[in-house]
Structure 1
Amino acid sequence: MIELGYSLSHRFPDPPQTDYRSAPVQALRHDLFCGDVYLADTAADRELSTAWGWLPVLDFAWALCDIVELLDRDPRGSRSATPVHAELDFTESTDRLRFERRFGWVDITADWAPATEPPLNFSHTALRREARDFLHDLIADLVDLHDGLADNPAIWNLQARFPRV
């Protein structure tokens, strides 16, 4: 079972003068909503998490949805034995999350995790569903916290591009 979560940072608050209604994609993805995220395999009681405080959590959710779709480009889908790779790199550091899909399963490793740790392993279908749910839940939370964000066209486009499954 997959669990995705986040926490917003108190050390890196959003600028108080931000107009969320008209904030550009660049600001939404890289300058606002900083904090930490985690991916957990609840069945195995293991997780990968950041503890930096500066990670843009909306960008993480957005990029994760992009990566899950990228991993699904093989027309053979879950029948494909050919590994498909993707990486999520964090702009402010050299750390990356690495994804490898094979036979409908996705292995996730992190540069900052010990090399002896086995990868987190999830069904691609479950990862897609959880990534999209995480994105929509995060947006709902951020809309509750920030006036005008629900009226931002970039947020509308993001929700339309990655509907809940």
Structure 2
Amino acid sequence: MLDIGYALSHRFPDPPQTDYRTADVRALRHDLFSGDVYLADTTEDRELATAWGWVPVLDFAWALCDIAEQLDRDPLGSRSPGPHRTELDFTESADLLRFTRRFGWVEITADWSRETERPLSFPFTELRRESRDFLHDLIADLTDMHDGLADNPALWALTARFPRV
């Protein structure tokens, strides 16, 4: 089973003068909510995790939802032999998460993991569902922590674009 999680950084806090209600998309995606993220296979007790402290966590969640959509563009859906590939790049690093879809399965690898390590592998429907759940859970956590964030129109548009599955 796929588990996606995060931890906000204490080393890179958001600027205290931030008005979350009016923060633009660039700020929401790249300048706020820094931390670390992980993708874990709870069945096999394996994970791909960052340990940098500066990953924009909301951007990561947003990008995962975009990736699921990109991997699902083939009209054959789960019958498509693929492979369909896409990457998630980390803006302050050359490291990538790589996603490869074949039929109804997605393999996930990270540039920073050992080459001998097997990719994480999940049903595509699980990746889509868990990515959207992670996005909505993260937004709920962040709006609880930051006054005014729940009133930000960019977040309204984001949750409307990627509803829970």
TM-score, shorter chain, exceeding 0.5: yes
Q: Secondary structure at the match of 1:6?
A: strand
Count of aligned residue pairs for this structure pair:
165
Does 1:159 pair with 2:159?
A: yes
Deviation at 1:155, TM superposition (A): 0.2
Q: In structure 1, what is the Cα distance between the partners aligned to 2:126 and 2:13?
A: 32
Q: Does residue 108 in structure 1 map to residue 141 in structure 2?
A: no
The residue aligned with 1:69 is 69
2: CA distance, partners of 1:60 / 1:38: 10
Partner of residue 48, structure 2 = 48
Q: Which residue of 1 aligns with 2:26?
A: 26
Following superposition, the deviation at residue 8 of structure 1 comes to 0.2
The letter for the 2-side match of 1:71 is: L
**2:92 alignment counterpart:** 92
Determine the C-alpha separation between the residues in 2 that align with 1:131 and 1:104.
Answer: 16
Q: How high is the TM-score relative to the length of structure 2?
A: 0.99
Distance 1:14 1:106 in 2: 34
Matched residue, 1:78:
78
Deviations 1:17-46 (A, max 9, x none): 000000000000000000000000001110
Deviation readout 1:90-132 (Å, 9 max, x if unpaired)? 0000000000001110000000000000000000001100000
1:69-91 Cα offsets, whole Å, 9 max, x none, are 10000000000112000000000
Separation (CA, whole Å) in 2 of partners of 1:82 and 1:109: 17
Give the fraction of aligned pairs with identical amino acids, expressed as a percent.
77
Aligned residue type for 1:77: G
Q: Any runs of at least 4 consecutive aligned residues in structure 1 with deviations exceeding 2 A, and if so which?
A: none
Q: Aligned residue for 1:125?
A: 125
- Give the 3-state SS of the residue equivalent to 2:144 in structure 1: helix
Partners in 2 of 1:44 and 1:100 — Cα distance? Answer: 19
CA RMSD of aligned residues (A): 0.3
